[in-house]
């Protein structure tokens, strides 16, 4: 037998074991998240949040919304933030040097007036050109600054923020009215909590009134439906599972809350990555460990943030490539956590998992398909085995996606129509037949971007919540 | 003859297909059952509501109404029905509702769960029995305060608070602050459920009856784990601070002498809590010397003292407020400027003059406050 044949055989065996181990991990996460979500529900039942958490004891909070060329969505986002139920908070919209009418739109809608407000320079950021307050809404503040990218806008927001906690929300996202209360509860019930986040769901086709999602509808677009299933899987068993064992490595940049002090100690958001949300979570953990401070990063499935997910192939592809690049940058920027027992579950389990399965996953998956086909061609593997193995792989993927749907059905039932959940079940099946493979290819391209340092954000087509289409070029 | 590997794969595929189909069936069945149960509950609720209101009006007696509820063994449904009423009712209506809950075994069921249930059942039972102000369960709930589970301590504290037994305030405070991960604010939020009835006891504690606070609980494991950051290991002054905050929250005027008695010897953190309590109550003791606190070395004390100025309107303190416009801390400058704005025309003139003056800090804060108030500067 030739060396090449031996290499091929070993690679095939490696791919099979890789496949077994990754799916074993995922099934374990499903179980962990089931119990984790059940525990969250018990806590919810026992807490008397609506009665107790409206008093003056609660820590005030700043909501930071970075905005770059967001004239289509920014007003809805601001109204959504203004509609939140929370005793004391201020909203900081950071206009990151937009080239469109983001600032004029805000000025017109909220009756803005420039004023002299002092702020700290805890974290370096681009020049702040002006700070505006609304005459109509005293807790709405607009920070106008030179363009520096999303991370820089968030850092500027942190500098201007005055409260001990801050929440970042993407400008194309809306959060449920009681999401802040639910998430802040995680900080109140555990002094170790330094960061917390909730679930992201697709707002496409949902009815929005006064900045709140009032009717949940299923988008007719198939790219969106795939993403709904994907998001359910990522949040309801991915993050819920990791959170239940204290191994959470990422909180969504679209909605998460941090202790300001911890983030300032960590140096704020990193300007050199497109995965600033994950990178910050990891860096905060490292810094907390260095200063010998106990910490927790937690996820709660119930507080929901609604976001517009890409509706076409190009935007989705760009987003996923960017995410993969962000993941890679975050992992390599915080590599000291890898197999470092100091970081507990995160260092010993989550980090290696993300490195071997999330970072390397696309390479193994793409090369696995190719090697399988080649092995059949040269007679190393017999076709029935490959067909059955791939069938089992696809069915396992379907099982994982449908488990997330089951979790959604048991705990939340967000989609009121039974038909919608059945349609999503169909998409959970379809997703594994071609979307997953396509996704692996995009992630593979994201890895190439990482290694060959592609810096552009690509093009994202963005729609206002009131259905006005607008293409937005993001090139921070 | 099929290869054994292929056979295993085939079995796996069949098993996966069966599981996926089962998942689909579970989803469909669950959706159906939830919908049926919701309809059933709605129908029952409608029927119960009518009977219950008749009972409260005296058209039905306890035995008659209990007859209509007695077949219902889904106690959580019964609880869901009664919970909103229990939150709102008081006096004889509450007593009648409680008697009904006892008659239909709702109290008995949850008392049994409190003693023998699992963690989740015990926690739920503590909350429900607390809302029902069930005196027989207080011993059981107090015993949960010694639990190692934060959820049980939280549920028991809330249950005890709702049950209206003020004397359990101190064991609950001890358990929440010593034996859970709750932040100071989180624990205070829960203790606030005790309401104003617990205020006289808190005043007695602040006046020196420290023996009201029980000894440390059995389990000190969490306390040992607490490291300093922004929640410090619980020391006696923390209990003072919690009670001072709560007295302020309840706007308990009768606490003013006790608070005033404490402030002269209080540490800076406790001083802040006392001044905040004055702000919440909306009144300061007559002999309170604000000026010394406007010059306090700790900026948080200066900050809240500037806010308290509005309660006193002490004209003699205005020069100190003007001095605070140059304070190193932004919040102190801001609240001093706000206080000066409240001082009427004189204060407005001072702010306008400072806004155009050479001192950078006082000029910035004065123009900021004036612009927030919509006052246009002439320049």
- At residue A88 the predicted structure's pLDDT band, cuts being 50, 70 and 90, is confident
Identify which of B124, B183, B245 has the shortest CB distance to residue A46.
Answer: B124
For residue A393, the chain B residue with the least C-alpha distance is B13
C-alpha dist (Å) from residue A82 to A66, A78, A144, A383: 16, 6, 19, 60
Please state the rounded mean pLDDT for residues B78-94.
89
The CA distance from A308 to A200, in Å, is 10
Residue B227 has a pLDDT of 37
Residue B378, pLDDT score: 61
What confidence tens digit (pLDDT) does each residue in A127-141 have? 999 999 888 888 899
Residue A326 confidence (pLDDT): 94
CB B258, CB B203: distance < 8 Å: yes
- Does residue B222 register a pLDDT over 90? no
Rg of chain A, C-alpha, whole Å? 23
- Does residue B221 surpass a pLDDT of 60? no
Number of neighbours of residue A201 by Cβ within 10 angstroms = 25
The reply to whether A396 touches chain B by the CB within 8 Å rule is: yes
Question: For A196, left (φ over 0), alpha (ψ -120 to 50), or beta?
Answer: beta
**For B252-303, what is each residue's pLDDT tens digit?**
999 999 999 999 888 898 999 999 999 999 999 988 889 999 999 999 999 9
Q: Which residue has the tokens 């309590």?
A: B277
The answer to whether residue B232 scores a pLDDT higher than 80 is: no
Q: Parallel, antiparallel, or unpaired: how do β-strands A296-307 and A173-175 relate?
A: antiparallel
Where do the domains of chain B lie? Answer: 165-288, 308-379
From CA B109, how far away is CA B125, in angstroms rounded? 9
Confidence of residue A303 (pLDDT cuts 50, 70, 90): confident
Q: pLDDT confidence of B372, banded at 50, 70, 90?
A: confident
From chain A, the residues in CB contact with B157 under 8 A are none
Residue A9 CB neighbour total at 10 angstroms? 14
**Residue from A93, A111, A113 nearest A102 by CA:** A93
- Residue A2: CB atoms within 10 Å: 8
Of A342-346, B344-348, B374-378, the poorest mean pLDDT is in B374-378
Mean residue pLDDT across chain A:
89
- pLDDT, tens only, A30-41: 999 999 999 988
Q: Does B26 touch chain A (CB under 8 A)?
A: yes
Question: Chain A contacts of B3, Cβ < 8 Å?
Answer: 382, 384-385
**Would you tell me how many other CB atoms lie within 10 Å of the CB of residue B89?**
16
Rounded to whole angstroms, how far apart are CA atoms A195 and A322? Answer: 23
Q: Flag whether pLDDT at A153 surpasses 80.
A: yes
For B132, the 3-state DSSP assignment is coil
- Examine the pLDDT at B328 and tell me if it is beyond 50: yes
Q: pLDDT at residue A473 above 80?
A: no
Inter-chain CB proximity B368 and A118 less than 8 Å = yes
The answer, yes or no, to whether residue B223 has pLDDT greater than 60, is: no
SS3 A202: strand
Q: Is A234 on the interface with B (CB under 8 A)?
A: no
CB–CB contact A48 B367 (8 Å): no
Cα–Cα distance, B15 to A149 (Å, whole number): 50
Percent pLDDT > 70 in chain B is 93
Contact A156, A126 (CB under 8 A): yes
Statement: residue A472 has pLDDT above 60: no
Distance to chain B for A379, nearest Cα, Å? 16
Residues recorded for chain A: 476
Residue with tokens 């396992």: A396
Give the C-alpha separation, B202 to B208, whole Å: 10
Can you tell me the mean pLDDT for B120-149? 93
Inform me whether the C-beta atom of residue B158 falls under 8 Å from chain A C-beta atoms.
yes
Question: Span B123-128, mean pLDDT?
Answer: 93
**Interchain proximity A388–B87, CB inside 8 Å:** no
Q: Is A420 on the interface with B (CB under 8 A)?
A: no
Q: Tell me the pLDDT band of B234, cut-offs 50, 70 and 90.
A: low
- SS3 of B254-318: the string is HHHHHHHHHHCCCCHHHHHHHHHHHHHHCCCCCCCCHHHHHCCCCHHHHHHHHHHHHHHCCHHHH
**Dihedral sign computed on CA atoms, order A29, A31, A34, A39:** negative
* Phi–psi pair at A124, nearest 5 degrees: -60, 140
The verdict on a CB contact (< 8 Å) between B31 and A413 is yes
> Are A181 and A86 in contact, with CB atoms under 8 Å apart?
yes
d(CA B300, CA B327): 12
Both structure tokens of A432: 């594994």
Query: Residues A164-219: pLDDT tens digits?
Result: 999 998 877 888 888 888 888 889 889 999 999 999 999 999 998 877 889 999 99
For A11-22, what is each residue's pLDDT tens digit? 999 999 999 999
């Amino acid at each position: 037998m030739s060396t090449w044949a031996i290499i091929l055989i070993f690679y095939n065996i490696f791919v099979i074991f890789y496949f077994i181990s990754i799916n074993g991990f995922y099934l374990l996460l499903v179980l962990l998240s089931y119990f984790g979500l059940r525990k969250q529900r018990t806590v919810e039942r026992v807490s008397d949040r609506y009665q107790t958490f409206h008093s003056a004891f609660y820590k005030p909070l700043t909501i930071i919304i970075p905005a770059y060329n967001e004239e289509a969505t920014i007003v809805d986002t601001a109204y959504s933030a203004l509609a939140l139920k929370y005793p004391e908070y201020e909203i900081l919209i950071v206009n990151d040097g937009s080239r469109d009418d983001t600032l004029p739109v805000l000025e017109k809608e909220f009756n803005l007036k420039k004023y002299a407000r002092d702020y700290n320079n805890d974290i370096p950021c681009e020049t702040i050109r002006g700070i505006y307050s609304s005459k109509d809404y005293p807790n709405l503040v607009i920070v106008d600054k030179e363009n520096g990218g999303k991370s820089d806008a968030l850092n500027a927001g942190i500098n201007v923020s005055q409260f001990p906690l801050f929440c970042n929300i993407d400008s194309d996202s809306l959060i449920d009215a009681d999401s802040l209360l639910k998430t802040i509860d995680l900080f109140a019930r555990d002094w170790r909590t330094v960061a917390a986040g909730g679930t992201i769901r697709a707002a496409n086709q949902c009815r929005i009134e006064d900045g709140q999602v009032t009717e949940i509808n299923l988008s007719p677009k198939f790219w969106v439906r795939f993403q709904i299933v994907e998001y359910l899987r990522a949040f309801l068993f991915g993050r819920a599972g990791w959170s239940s064992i204290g191994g959470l490595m990422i909180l969504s940049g679209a909605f998460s809350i941090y202790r300001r002090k911890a983030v300032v100690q960590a140096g704020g958001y990193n300007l050199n990555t497109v995965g600033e949300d994950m990178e910050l979570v990891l860096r905060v953990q490292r810094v907390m460990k260095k200063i010998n401070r106990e910490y927790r990063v937690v996820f709660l499935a119930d507080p929901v943030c609604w976001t517009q997910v890409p509706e076409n192939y190009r935007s989705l592809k760009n987003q996923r490539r960017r995410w993969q690049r962000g993941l890679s940058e975050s992992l390599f920027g915080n590599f000291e956590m890898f197999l470092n027992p100091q970081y507990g579950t995160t260092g010993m389990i989550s980090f290696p998992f993300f490195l071997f399965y999330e970072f390397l996953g696309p390479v193994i998956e793409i090369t696995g398909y190719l090697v399988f086909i080649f092995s059949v061609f040269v007679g190393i593997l017999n076709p029935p085995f490959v067909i059955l193995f791939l069938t089992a792989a696809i069915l396992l993927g379907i099982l994982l996606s449908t488990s997330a749907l089951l979790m959604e059905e048991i705990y939340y039932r967000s989609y009121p129509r039974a038909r919608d959940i059945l349609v999503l079940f169909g998409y959970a099946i379809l997703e594994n037949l071609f979307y997953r493979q396509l996704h692996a290819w995009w992630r593979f391209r994201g890895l190439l971007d990482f290694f060959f340092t592609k810096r552009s954000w690509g093009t994202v087509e963005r729609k206002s919540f009131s259905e006005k289409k607008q293409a937005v070029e993001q090139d921070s | 003859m099929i290869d054994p590997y292929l056979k295993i794969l085939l079995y796996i595929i069949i098993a996966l297909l069966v599981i996926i189909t089962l998942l689909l069936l579970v989803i469909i069945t669950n959706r159906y059952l939830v919908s049926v149960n919701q309809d059933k509950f709605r129908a029952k609720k409608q029927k119960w509501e009518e009977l219950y209101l008749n009972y409260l009006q005296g058209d039905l007696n306890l035995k008659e109404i209990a007859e209509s509820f007695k077949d219902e063994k889904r106690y959580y449904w019964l609880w869901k029905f009664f919970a909103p009423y229990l939150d709102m009712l008081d006096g004889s209506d509450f007593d009648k509702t409680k008697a009904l809950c006892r008659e239909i075994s709702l109290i008995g069921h949850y008392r049994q769960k409190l003693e023998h249930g699992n963690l989740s059942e015990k926690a739920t039972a503590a909350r429900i029995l607390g809302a029902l102000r069930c005196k027989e369960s207080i011993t059981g709930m107090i015993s949960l305060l010694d639990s190692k589970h934060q959820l049980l301590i939280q549920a028991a504290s809330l249950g005890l608070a709702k049950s209206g037994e003020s004397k359990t305030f101190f064991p609950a405070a001890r358990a929440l602050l010593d034996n859970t991960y709750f932040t100071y604010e989180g624990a205070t939020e829960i203790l606030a459920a005790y309401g104003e009835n617990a205020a006289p006891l808190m005043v007695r504690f602040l006046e020196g009856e420290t023996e009201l606070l029980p000894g440390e609980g059995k389990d000190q494991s969490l306390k040992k784990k607490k490291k300093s950051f922004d929640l410090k290991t619980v020391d006696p002054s923390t209990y003072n601070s919690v009670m001072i905050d709560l007295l302020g929250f309840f706007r308990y005027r009768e606490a003013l002498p006790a608070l005033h008695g404490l402030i002269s010897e209080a540490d800076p953190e406790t001083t802040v809590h006392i001044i905040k309590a004055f702000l919440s109550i909306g009144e300061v003791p007559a002999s309170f010397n604000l000026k010394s606190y406007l010059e306090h070395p700790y900026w948080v004390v200066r900050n809240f003292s500037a806010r308290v100025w509005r309660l006193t309107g002490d004209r003699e303190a205005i020069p100190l407020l003007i001095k605070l416009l140059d304070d190193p801390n932004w919040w102190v400058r801001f609240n001093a400027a706000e206080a000066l704005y409240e001082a009427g025309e004189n204060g407005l003139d001072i702010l306008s003059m400072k806004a155009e003056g050479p001192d950078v800090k006082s000029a910035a804060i004065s123009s900021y406050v004036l612009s927030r108030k919509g006052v246009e500067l002439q320049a």
